[in-house]
Amino acid sequence: EIKKLIDSDFHEVRFCGLLILVSQFEHAKTRTLQKRYFDFYLRQLKAGQINNWDLIDVTGVRMGRHLLDEKSALTTLKKLARSKNLWERRMAVIFTFAFQKVGDPYPTLTMADLLLKDEHDLIHKAVGWALREMGKKDGPLLRNYLKVNAHKMPRTMLRYAIEKYGPVARAKFLAK
């Protein structure tokens, strides 16, 4: 039934199906069942059914938790980040929020590095958002990252990353 919803031509129906899938994932009693839901979710992404920023942002943050216990998590993230598909690249960034929640900022930094030269605005926004959130937990790490990379970052990515900084700090990084 979830597949029928996700296959709908209507965005809102797909969204509903994905929210049900996420709920099933979160309530799964076993790791094996969670993996089945996660793998199904990735198949929907690859099939083009998860094809809008809101579908990815709302569901990917929660589904990314599956990768926390996976030895191949970074490999999965890198594969998504290197995809030609915009939505797979965005998902690579959004999945890293799960790592941030448990205090691991490094997958976010890895995806930021891989996607630094991406040409799409929706990737710039996602990376900047992820960096900004990472900086809320580890401000010095974000500042160090920006000192090295601000001059290479697309303007939108940088603006999102420094959005919570004061005017003086923002001006300093924007001047780079």
C-alpha dist (Å) from residue 48 to 15, 29, 43, 63 = 13, 28, 9, 17
Using alpha carbons, list the distances in angstroms from residue 94 to 38, 51, 78, 114, 150: 14, 14, 13, 14, 21
Whether 123 and 86 have beta carbons less than 8 Å apart is answered as yes
Note down pLDDT in tens along the chain; length 176 residues. Answer: 999 999 999 999 999 999 999 999 999 999 999 999 999 999 999 999 999 999 999 999 999 999 999 999 999 999 999 999 999 999 999 999 999 999 999 999 999 999 999 999 999 999 999 999 999 999 999 999 999 999 999 999 999 999 999 999 999 999 87
